[in-house]
């Protein structure tokens, strides 16, 4: 199994009260999420969420939320699970959101080539 290593997304800016899909499995090619960076570049503290959404699921299901994090203005938070999150079914996705303030997200990991 060959892997493409590195970032899984470009920096994604999420405005307050928004949720954005950032990584989605295509053609049953597994995706391994190693870390998620969240940066509050604005002058205010921001509250962000990360969702692991199975194919056909939504971010409205509270069981799909895996991180809830508060990021103070100008700070960066590294979310790094002890083992990579594995998305393995076409349509599985990672979504990121912000309740308050604007956040920049970046996801790193590997995906099957």
Answer for the pair 49, 14: CB distance below 8 angstroms, yes or no.
no
Q: How many domains does the chain have?
A: 1
CATH number where 74 lies: 2.60.120.340
* Confidence (pLDDT) at 1: 62
The residues, any chain, with a CB within 8 Å of residue 93's CB and separated by 6 or more, are 21, 22, 23, 24, 25, 53, 87
The residues, any chain, with a CB within 8 Å of residue 9's CB and separated by 6 or more, are 22, 23, 105, 106, 107
In the numeric block, which tokens belong to residue 80? 């790094």
Rounded distance between C-alpha atoms, residue 76 and residue 79, angstroms: 10
Please give the residue range of the domain that contains residue 13: 3-112
Residue-level pLDDT, tens digit, the chain, 113 residues: 677 777 788 999 999 999 999 999 999 899 999 999 999 987 789 999 999 999 999 999 999 999 999 999 999 999 999 999 999 999 999 999 999 999 999 999 999 98
């Amino acid at each position: 199994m060959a892997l493409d290593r590195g970032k899984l997304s470009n920096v994604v800016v999420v405005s307050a009260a928004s949720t954005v899909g950032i990584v989605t499995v295509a053609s049953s090619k597994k995706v391994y999420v190693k870390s998620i960076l969240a940066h509050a570049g604005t002058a205010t503290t921001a509250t962000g969420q990360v969702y692991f959404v199975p194919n056909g699921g939504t971010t409205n299901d509270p069981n799909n939320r895996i991180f809830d994090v508060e990021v103070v203005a100008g700070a960066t938070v590294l979310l790094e699970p002890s083992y990579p999150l594995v998305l393995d079914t076409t349509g599985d996705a990672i979504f990121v959101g912000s309740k308050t303030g604007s956040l920049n997200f970046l996801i790193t990991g590997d995906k099957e080539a």
